Amino acid sequence: SSQNLSEEFAEAARQLKKEAPRIQFGKIDVTHQHDLRKEFNIQAFPTVKFFVNGSREDPIDCKGVRKASAFITWVKRRTGPSTVLINSTDQAEAIIKAGDLAVIGFFRELHSDSVEVFCETARDVPEMPFGMTASEDVCANYGVQRNSLIVFKEGKPVHNEVLEDGRQSKLGLTRLIKTFTLDLVTEYNIETSVKIFDVPVENHILLFTPMNSETFNEIYENYQSAAAEFRGKVLFVLVDTDEARNGRIFEYFRIRDIDVPAVRILNLTSEARYRMPADEVTVGNLKEFCQSYLHGKAKQHLPSEEIPQDWDKMPVKVLVGKNFNSIIF
């Protein structure tokens, strides 16, 4: 909530006052400050922006940061080095074991486009430590080809991404790495909904199914298998249709009991919705659906009532989603 974020922000300000007194924290209630809202294009609340070198031009947006520790890391990485330079295996192990997640870049040399993209990505993912190395010994110790990034979870490597100059974008890497703050398949509920929207992946696939059904385990395994292939591109969400508190999300997607299990893709930016053409939730059908969507070939799904039998009997015709296009256009 806004209140929690405000408290965490204040806590970050308190801690940084000792460590970095040059960095000032301020809070503005923009309810009546229409000029400021317009100047800085404030669309949602709360919004956090970082102003550099006394300039009002182009402040940096601080998005998806919710904890004081992450605010502190975010600011430090903006004002100093964003990654730790690793020269020994002991140093690498210390970073890997410091928390739940860690990211290490293994490079041939420390001056390349890939290194730059890696360091920029580190600035936007303050939730986890980032280290980088060009040491042959460290690379050999982890059996890693140079120019790759490894995500470690609970001390073990869980993802290896080869880094090629010019191939990865900062946004692409940020999306991929941030997904590791969630499970491969995230169950939708009050607690996880905030985290789901904090990960900057705009394509969400949702599986609507009762979790207590006999077929659930098989469907869930298929869903999880497909999820691994689209990590960073499509976020896999599970919605339990037995949970009454999920009612609003069923309404939004027009899901009825007779429709489940159902699979939909939602693009958060356009709010366009897509329905999986196949009825069965198999790995093949899921992969085909995600690929056709990512290649721009999936048909948009416009939830619609059935066309009434007497829709054209009266002077004013009755339109629903299914006959709207054909009659109007």
Q: Where are the domains of the chain?
A: 3-72, 84-179, 183-295
Is the Cβ–Cβ distance between 234 and 207 less than 8 Å? no
Q: Please provide the CATH number assigned to the domain covering 183-295.
A: 3.40.30.10
How many other C-beta atoms are found inside a 10 Å radius of the C-beta of residue 89?
Answer: 15
Q: Are strands 130-133 and 101-106 parallel, antiparallel or unpaired?
A: parallel
Q: For position 175, what pLDDT does the model report?
A: 93
46 cis-preceded (ω within 30 degrees of 0): yes
The pLDDT-based confidence of 247 (bands split at 50, 70, 90) is confident
The amino acid occupying position 191 is E
Q: Pull the structure tokens for residue 279.
A: 């009825």
Q: Give the chain's end-to-end CA distance (angstroms, integer).
A: 44
Q: For position 325, what pLDDT does the model report?
A: 62
Q: Pull the structure tokens for residue 15.
A: 């801690």
Give the integer Cα–Cα distance in Å for 77 and 79: 6
Domain 183-295 in the same topology as domain 3-72: yes
Domain range 84-179, CATH architecture: 3-Layer(aba) Sandwich (3.40)
Place of tokens 């400021």: 36
Give this prediction's pTM. Answer: 0.83
The pLDDT-based confidence of 321 (bands split at 50, 70, 90) is low
Q: Pull the structure tokens for residue 325.
A: 């296009």
The residue among 70, 68, 61 whose CA lies nearest residue 4 is 68
Find the mean pLDDT for residues 40-47.
85
Find the mean pLDDT for residues 274-298.
95
The pLDDT-based confidence of 74 (bands split at 50, 70, 90) is very high
The residue among 142, 206, 143, 149 whose CA lies nearest residue 176 is 149
The pLDDT-based confidence of 329 (bands split at 50, 70, 90) is low
Give me the count of residues in the chain. 329
The residue among 82, 74, 126 whose CA lies nearest residue 105 is 82
What average pLDDT does the structure give for the chain? 90
Q: For position 326, what pLDDT does the model report?
A: 66
Q: Which fold has domain 3-72?
A: Glutaredoxin (3.40.30)
Rounded percentage of the chain residues whose pLDDT exceeds 70: 95
Residue 135, classified by CB atoms within 10 Å of its CB into exposed (0-12), middle (13-18) or buried (19+), is: middle
Find the mean pLDDT for residues 223-238.
96
Treating both helix axes as pointing N-terminal to C-terminal, what angle do 113-124 and 68-79 enclose, rounded to 10 degrees? Answer: 150
Give the integer Cα–Cα distance in Å for 19 and 107: 31
